[in-house]
Chains A and B, each alone.
Chain A
């Protein structure tokens, strides 16, 4: 059938595309040294606390490794425990489809010397366990290297962020008011009509 044919064709095409353009995480070199201010197990409050990230090139690598490094993108990433039972945060090798690092901290042009950046944890960061990873992109905006605050198993040096609740006292009060209005209006109408019916029956 035509549909099946185009189905197969689109799958093949997407594989081709991936093979040509999609970088995979396993192909990246761990050439950056990244450290962050939260120590292991620390709990940070979204919207209030800061994270200071520091990154630099790992000097043990031969000179010229960073010849095509253009920009550094630092991201907040989910630790495996926060990915459990949550397929929308899944780690996939193909970087285009990878959902491990969904929160951007900063994008900065690359320089081999030590860079720092202080970031206030944004209000839309959910409650979870995190680490920090920095991707290095070349001039074609393709990932070529990375560095992260944790080990290769993503098990050490993890910290927690406590999200805002999103609740506000004003919202709660408004909610109660409207609810009360609804109930009162209903029963008011009901009893008023009952009384009118009784009155018209008597007369």
Chain B
């Protein structure tokens, strides 16, 4: 009989979708590779004539397709990242929901997501009441509402952080700025969030993501309104620095998503939220010149009109803050303050988590790499409108429109990068992901060089669009690999990578767009060369169990051994590494089509004779 047998609380829940066991796509590929062992394939059941709409199937189908993306792009939330299964070290909200579920560790590879059938939510939820499907067009409380609130808040902060960029031609005359001042302000705008993102993680743990987001967005609203007071270069730099703090909503956004959405789809959800938020950097290039034009035509002097235009992002901050407070909730079951249930989840030691993050050389390579994808994206958000205004003699409105297409490409290119990473992994495993990242990011660099060298407008616009697709897809592809670097320290590594992105932005602005030694065009060319050069270290990233760009995997290493290495003997004896072992098993999909029947004891490398 189909239906759900039992729900959370004991270890033995299995979802029975009309009789078949539902597997992850990666699993499926593996099984098909094995000769003869053709188990009943639930996917065929789903997509077959009888499969559609079976039971609660219709949305399950979508979650399957996107589940493959989720396999790769799993989770970008900050400190909370380690939790994938409830009860594992570092679980969300310190076990606030109180619904613990223990999974007996087994060599079986099924990835059942037990659905809580008694829950009264608009979307199907798991035993933690996190949604297991992602319905973009829904605003249902609490899951999808939280999604829309958090990505729009993040979008708003991007709008206000880069709001000055398209107006620089006016601001530089009003405040008598030099190129150095403009460059310093650009650097300041991305530097502030390096620190605020670190603080935000702690704030989300203490206050919940709803208050973390609302606090940041409403306390940075005054900094946006402060633009009306600015009358010198120093003031301009200071205000842009303070507005830049608001980019930490990235952390609250991702954190909130991981309290609301199940680990199987968290990758897609987080990637979409991040990509759509980043779009704000593009939207602002369109919005601010439009506002400026309108206000100027209404009769204001140019040097006053741009100040008035800044009120709009400020109001957006306040409105989004109020909406988040009024409509949002921290957890599917309610708000943190009213739901103080404490579970006895063993929480991991931060010092250990930090140690395993910083001693893994891959972390630092990705810090550099993300600086060359997200970093250059932020830098370009800051300089591109002014570049088109000056180099091609366009008016502010047109320059802004062109610059906007750069940031707006994020709506598809970032998720697409993650998707391409998944597709490459299905065939070639982790090696495919690494090659995919290298190709995308290097192409981005090449088109950046073309953008700097382009002398005509059509060529420049084309190069810019191709550059944006390359860089943003590389961002998505980066977070398709990061979840596999470490299981224990994923949160810290994600945070460090994010900070590396901002740092890369500050560095490229400092090197290429602040001094008058070379023109902006030359700066773009040099930045492109730097991207190509600094993307080469991808070749150094080697996963012993999966290989790297040029080296094959070593047969002696298993996923269990790699992830088990992060725990010492004592911790293993206490069973703290169970989550890592489960993850290791699931990560076997990163072997690609190379199917290996593996039964390894978790604690040791399989001895080779």
A residues lining the B interface (CB < 8 Å): 3, 6-7, 10-11, 14, 47, 84-88, 123-124, 126-128, 163-168, 171-172, 174-176, 178-179, 181-183, 185-186, 189-190, 193-194, 196-197, 200
Tell me, yes or no, whether B219 is within 8 Å of chain A by CB: yes
CB distance A186 to B218 under 8 Å? yes
Beyond A179-B225, A186-B214, A186-B219, whether A171 also contacts B180 by CB under 8 A is: no
Instruction: Tell whether, in the assembled complex, residue A175 and residue B301 are in contact, meaning their CB atoms are under 8 Å apart.
Output: no
> For residue B337, which residue of chain A has the nearest CB?
A197
15 contacts between A and B (CB under 8 A): A47-B301, A85-B179, A85-B180, A88-B169, A165-B174, A165-B303, A167-B304, A167-B307, A168-B304, A171-B307, A178-B315, A182-B221, A182-B222, A185-B318, A193-B335
Whole-angstrom CA separation of A140 from B324 in the bound complex: 62
Interface centre among A166, A190, A194, A196 (most CB of B within 10 A): A166
Q: How large is the interface on B (under 10, 10 to 19, 20 to 34, 35 or more residues)?
A: 35 or more
Q: Give the interface of B toward A (CB within 8 A).
A: 169, 172-174, 176, 178-180, 211, 214-215, 218-219, 221-222, 225-226, 228-229, 231, 301-304, 306-308, 311, 314-315, 317-318, 321-322, 325, 335, 337-338, 390, 450, 453-456, 459, 516, 519-520
Q: Are A178 and B301 touching (Cβ within 8 A)?
A: no
- The contact of B218 among A85, A87, A166, A183, by CB within 8 Å, is A183
Q: Is the CB of A163 within 8 A of B173?
A: yes
Closest 6 CB pairs of A and B: A166-B303, A179-B222, A126-B173, A85-B178, A175-B225, A182-B221
Instruction: Kindly provide the distance from the CB of A18 to the nearest chain B CB, expressed in whole angstroms.
Output: 12
**B450 CB contacts on chain A under 8 angstroms:** 3
B219, A183: Cβ atoms closer than 8 Å: yes
Closest to B225 in A: A175
A179 and B223 CA atoms in complex are apart in Å by 8
Q: How far is the CB of A107 from chain B (nearest CB, A)?
A: 20
Closest chain B CB from A83 CB (angstroms) = 10
Chain A residues closer than 8 Å to B176, beta-carbon distance: 126-128, 163
Collect the chain B residues with CB atoms within 8 Å of residue A88's CB: 169, 172, 390
Q: Give the shortest distance, in Å, between A46 (CB) and chain B (any CB).
A: 9
A193 lies within 8 A of B218 (CB):
no
Kindly name the residue among B222, B322, B390 whose own CB sees the greatest number of chain A CB atoms within 10 A.
B222
| Chain B residues whose C-beta falls within 8 Å of the C-beta of A11 in the assembled complex | 455
In the assembly, what is the distance between CA of A85 and CA of B515, in Å?
A: 8
In the complex, the number of residue pairs spanning A and B with C-beta atoms less than 8 Å apart equals 121
B-side contacts of A171, CB under 8 Å: 228, 304, 307-308
In the complex, chain A residues whose CB is within 8 Å of the CB of B306: 166
Residues in chain B near residue A124, CB distance under 8 A: 173, 301-303
Cα-based distance from A58 to B370 in the complex (angstroms)? 64
Smallest CB separation, A65 vs chain B (Å): 32
Kindly identify which residue among A166, A178, A190, A197 contacts B314, using a CB–CB cutoff of 8 Å. Answer: A178
Contacts of B307 in A (CB 8 A): 166-167, 171
CA distance A194 to B338 in the complex (A): 9
Contacts of B314 in A (CB 8 A): 178
Across the interface, name the chain B residue whose C-beta is closest to A165.
B231
Residues of A within 8 A of B459 (CB): 3, 6-7, 10
- Residues of A contacting B520 in the complex (Cβ-Cβ under 8 angstroms): 87
Q: Within the complex, what minimum Cβ distance (angstroms) separates A135 from chain B?
A: 18
Q: How far is the CA of A163 from the CA of B302 in the complex (A)?
A: 11
CB distance from B174 to the nearest CB of A (A): 5
Q: How far is the CA of A86 from the CA of B175 in the complex (A)?
A: 13
The interface residues of chain A, by DSSP majority, are classed as: helix
Beta-carbon contact of A163 and B215 below 8 Å = no
Structural contact, A87 and B390, CB atoms closer than 8 A = yes
Residues of B within 8 A of A126 (CB): 173-174, 176
Q: Which residues of A contact B169 (CB under 8 A)?
A: 88
CA of A84 to CA of B219 in the docked complex: distance in angstroms? 38
> Besides A163-B174, A197-B337, 12 other CB < 8 A contacts?
A7-B459, A10-B459, A14-B455, A14-B456, A87-B179, A88-B172, A88-B390, A166-B174, A167-B228, A167-B231, A171-B304, A183-B218
Q: Complex: how many Å from CA A194 to CA B459?
A: 58
A27 CB to closest chain B CB, in angstroms?
22
A79 to chain B, nearest CB (A): 14
- Whole-angstrom distance between the alpha carbons of A88 and B399 in the complex? 15
Whole-angstrom CA separation of A102 from B455 in the bound complex: 22
B303 touches A182 (CB 8 A): no
In Å, the complex CA distance between A85 and B514 comes to: 10
For B228, list chain A residues within 8 Å (CB). 167, 171-172, 174-175
What residues of chain B lie closer than 8 Å to A163, measured between beta carbons?
A: 173-174, 176, 303
Docked-complex contact A123 and B302, CB < 8 angstroms: yes
Which residues of A are found within 8 Å of B455, using beta-carbon distances? 7, 10-11, 14
Instruction: List B contacts of A87 (CB < 8 A).
Output: 179, 390, 516, 519-520
Closest A residue to B304 by CB, please name it: A166
State in angstroms the CA–CA spacing of A163 and B171 once bound together: 12
Rounded to whole Å, the gap between the CB of A17 and the closest CB of chain B is: 12
A164 touches B226 (CB 8 A): no
List of A residues within 8 angstroms of B302 by Cβ: 123-124, 166
User: Is B180 within 8 A of A178, CB to CB?
Assistant: no
In the assembled complex, the CB of A22 is this many whole angstroms from the nearest CB of chain B, namely 14
Q: Is the CB of B303 within 8 A of A174?
A: no
- Cβ–Cβ contact B180 & A197, under 8 A: no
A14 to B456, CA, bound (A): 9
Q: How far is the CB of B446 from chain A (nearest CB, A)?
A: 11
- Docked Cα-Cα span, A43 to B169, in Å, equals 24
Min CB gap A122→B, angstroms: 9
User: In the complex the two chains form, what is the Cα distance from A10 to B301 in whole Å?
Assistant: 39
Q: Which residue of A lies closest to B302 (CB)?
A: A124
**Chain B residues closer than 8 Å to A86, beta-carbon distance:** 172, 178-179
Q: For residue B317, which residues in chain A have a CB less than 8 angstroms away from its CB?
A: 182
Could you tell me the distance in whole angstroms from the C-beta of A49 to the nearest C-beta in chain B? 16
**Alpha-carbon gap, A186 to B222, bound state (A):** 12
State the CA gap A188–B23 with chains docked (Å): 48
Nearest CB in chain A to that of B386: its residue: A88
CB pair B311 A174 closer than 8 Å? yes
Q: How far is the CB of B191 from chain A (nearest CB, A)?
A: 22
A181 to chain B, nearest CB (A): 7
* Residue among B173, B314, B450 with the highest chain A CB neighbour number at 10 A: B173
CA distance A10 to B226 in the complex (A): 46
B390 to A, closest residue via Cβ: A88
